Amino acid sequence: MTTSKPTPPEFAAGHFTLSWSLGRDSDQARRPRGRYELKCLYEDLRQDAETETGTVKRAVQNVMGVLAYHLEDTQAARLYFESVLEEDAVNVNALENCCFLLRKTDKYDLAEGFEDRARAAVGQTEAEADQEMVSLVKARAMAELGYACALDVFNARTQDDLIQVFERSNGYYHRALRIGTDNVTSSEQSQWLFAIALNYIRIDSLRQEANLDLCYQALDLLKDVVKSTKSQYYKCKALCYTGLLLQSRSALNKGFSEECIRDSGYFEQDPLDYFGEAIQQAGEDTAILNKLAKIFVQSGRYQLALDILNVSRAIVPDHTQNHFAFSISVQANKNMYLDQLAKYRQGTLDGRPDKKLLNKAREDMQAILGTRTGVHAYLELAVVCYHLGVETMDESSVVAEFELAQAVEYAARARDCDMGDSLPEVQLMRGKCHRARGDDWKAMDAFKQAVEMEHLNEGAALTESYKLLGEIILTLHRRDKTWREGAIDEMELWVTEGRKRYVDFLPEFHTFCRQNVSDVMELGKEMVKAGRLGMVRLCLEAVSSA
């Protein structure tokens, strides 16, 4: 079984040599969104910084230093790089990163000292160098850059763009393995093989066609990791991803039949058996349990994640000492509710969505709020309280005034946080709260602000903010008799701009009209009087296409 590997990139140490997309973003409309995404990644990596060890932990710290720099915290960035050097004095990426920072602050003499150390580490001085050590330094540096590359997905516009990101990441790892074959430890090799396997899985999930060869490579690498690694952390993750890959392949029916699995030697265990073994291997290590739970949340297995988190919290119940268990529990409970809500509205859920999940999410989030304030935390609470406060099916009426008032308060706190006043999600939440309360004019203003803050890639799909803006225009036309002409102008602008902004606007507009037939017909009558016949024709076509 062979596949062509990506061409290994040339060696150039230092994370600032990477084409880190948000570092070069010149679109001012994009910058606030980009800073928020950087901040979310920065917070997300905190868990990895606490659970990883050795060379991978240093890879995480180097990336966190880069993120801190782009978040305009140069002091924190340098502290991250220096903490790497305290553990590994010849970490050439950290040396070059420090050199970059010092030059940015006009400390050229100090920068030259770090540059000299970096050259010596890779054998670029007149002094005779230990070539085995040089190879080891270069291999570790390449692996660190591979780790960083896989995270730089911010400006990827298409699935092909994402695939290129992960292939480029694997290019670094393949070269790291090649130049460090005789020198790296078996533990490091297992960690790099796991990273390659994970990139294969990501690439496979993005491709529409079946690629069994890619899956086999991922499975074989994960199998090698399970057998060879001495790290329980990586063994558990490898078992977990093996089960996920087998399960998703079967569910998606992308050509991964039971016969294929049996032929490859993986059918001796059900995917659930791999999950069970991973959890059993984790034992009472809450860091591993929390990481497994996070993986299951990201893959949509919310109940399994919650079961694992219950074990973790039974071992360490104090939220100050087991912060990540509570944080991941918020995500699991909230996402499970939203998943149930979507199925309920589609008519595929037995019964109603369980709002106890939202109460649990709120309880956990409020418990850790003292140690995790910020726009994301307040926005999470606003979303949870909003769904507790509104009617389930269409969110058109208030069922719990106190909870909705809490949602308004948390949305306001989110807006007051750093970056909060530039995020469309915050304005969307404000608009939805105003709409539920019947404050239609405030709702329209918030939805407009949300739309203005959107930074859309080419071929973007219709956003919730834009759809709700159209709905609130219809509502105001129905309720405010003095605003008939204004409603016509707003609706015409909404349609015109929607056709420019969103690739799927027309089919979505047809659905929109069919869902609001009476309001659209009433608005259509006013348009006839105003001579807006083109808009009338478009609305009639949409309604009659039902």
Q: What is the pLDDT of residues 402-435, one digit of tens each?
A: 999 999 999 999 999 988 888 999 999 999 999 9
Q: Is the pLDDT of residue 386 over 50?
A: yes
Q: Please compute the mean of the pLDDT values over residues 493-501 and round it to a whole number.
A: 92
Which CATH code for domain 1-156?
1.25.40
Q: Is the pLDDT of residue 443 over 60?
A: yes
Q: Give the pLDDT confidence score for residue 255 in this predicted structure.
A: 55
pTM to 2 decimals? 0.89
Q: Is the separation of the CB atoms in 530 and 497 below 8 Å?
A: no
Listed residue (426, 446, 461, 459) closest to 157, CA to CA: 459
Average pLDDT, the chain: 88
Q: Give the pLDDT confidence score for residue 257 in this predicted structure.
A: 57
**pLDDT top residue among 8 and 183:** 183
Q: Please compute the mean of the pLDDT values over residues 299-327 and round it to a whole number.
A: 96
Q: Please compute the mean of the pLDDT values over residues 1-22 and round it to a whole number.
A: 63
Q: Is the pLDDT of residue 159 over 60?
A: yes
Alpha carbon distance 498, 131 (integer Å)? 61
Q: Please compute the mean of the pLDDT values over residues 30-54 and round it to a whole number.
A: 81
Q: Give the pLDDT confidence score for residue 281 in this predicted structure.
A: 96
Displacement of CA 442 from its chain's centroid (Å): 30
Residue with tokens 């070069």: 24
Highest mean predicted confidence (pLDDT) among 133-137, 303-307, 535-539: 303-307
Listed residue (424, 337, 328) closest to 368, CA to CA: 328
Q: Which of 136-140, 210-214, 296-300, 464-468 has the lowest mean pLDDT?
A: 210-214
Q: Is the pLDDT of residue 545 over 80?
A: no
pLDDT tens digits, one per residue of 60-70: 999 999 999 98
How many Cα atoms within 13 Å fall on the side-chain side of residue 537? 4
Q: Which of 214-228, 259-273, 277-291, 422-436 has the lowest mean pLDDT?
A: 259-273
Q: Which of 469-473, 475-479, 525-529 has the lowest mean pLDDT?
A: 525-529
Confidence class for position 461, pLDDT limits 50, 70, 90:
confident
Q: Is the pLDDT of residue 2 over 70?
A: no
Give ∠ CA 454-456-460 in degrees, rounded to 5. Answer: 125
Alpha carbon distance 242, 171 (integer Å)? 22
Confidence class for position 24, pLDDT limits 50, 70, 90:
very low
The number of beta carbons lying within 10 Å of the beta carbon of residue 151 is 17
Q: Using DSSP, state whether 270 is helix, strand or coil.
A: coil
Q: Is the pLDDT of residue 269 over 80?
A: no
Residue type, 119: R
Q: Give the pLDDT confidence score for residue 486 in this predicted structure.
A: 93
Q: Please compute the mean of the pLDDT values over residues 382-404 and round it to a whole number.
A: 94
Length of the chain: 546
Listed residue (269, 271, 265) closest to 240, CA to CA: 271
Q: Please compute the mean of the pLDDT values over residues 188-206 and round it to a whole number.
A: 93
Q: Please compute the mean of the pLDDT values over residues 139-144 and round it to a whole number.
A: 95
Q: Is the pLDDT of residue 189 over 70?
A: yes
Highest mean predicted confidence (pLDDT) among 249-263, 376-390, 505-519: 376-390
Rounded to 5 degrees, φ, ψ at 393 are -70, -55
Q: Please compute the mean of the pLDDT values over residues 93-97 and round it to a whole number.
A: 96
Q: Give the pLDDT confidence score for residue 29 in this predicted structure.
A: 44
Q: Is the pLDDT of residue 4 over 50?
A: no
**pLDDT top residue among 180 and 209:** 180
Structural domain boundaries of the chain? 1-156, 459-546
Q: Please compute the mean of the pLDDT values over residues 258-274 and round it to a whole number.
A: 67
Q: Please compute the mean of the pLDDT values over residues 454-461 and round it to a whole number.
A: 74
Burial state string for 272-288 with b = 16 or more CB within 10 A and e = fewer than 16: eebbebbbebbeebbbb
Q: Who contacts 253 (Cβ-Cβ below 8 Å, separation ≥6)?
A: none
Highest mean predicted confidence (pLDDT) among 147-156, 246-255, 466-475: 466-475
Q: Give the pLDDT confidence score for residue 71 in this predicted structure.
A: 87
Q: Please compute the mean of the pLDDT values over residues 82-94 and round it to a whole number.
A: 96
Q: Using DSSP, state whether 152 is helix, strand or coil.
A: coil
Question: What are the structure tokens assigned to 206, written together?
Answer: 């993005």
**pLDDT top residue among 54 and 256:** 54
Alpha carbon distance 93, 149 (integer Å)? 14
Q: Is the pLDDT of residue 131 over 90?
A: no
- In 367-515, beta strands by DSSP E: none
What percent of the chain shows pLDDT beyond 90? Answer: 63
Query: Computed from CA positions of residues 209, 212, 216, 217, in that sequence, does the dihedral angle turn out positive or negative?
Result: negative
Q: Is the pLDDT of residue 27 over 70?
A: no
Q: Is the pLDDT of residue 353 over 80?
A: yes
Confidence class for position 28, pLDDT limits 50, 70, 90:
very low
What percent of the chain shows pLDDT beyond 70? Answer: 90
Alpha carbon distance 159, 466 (integer Å)? 24
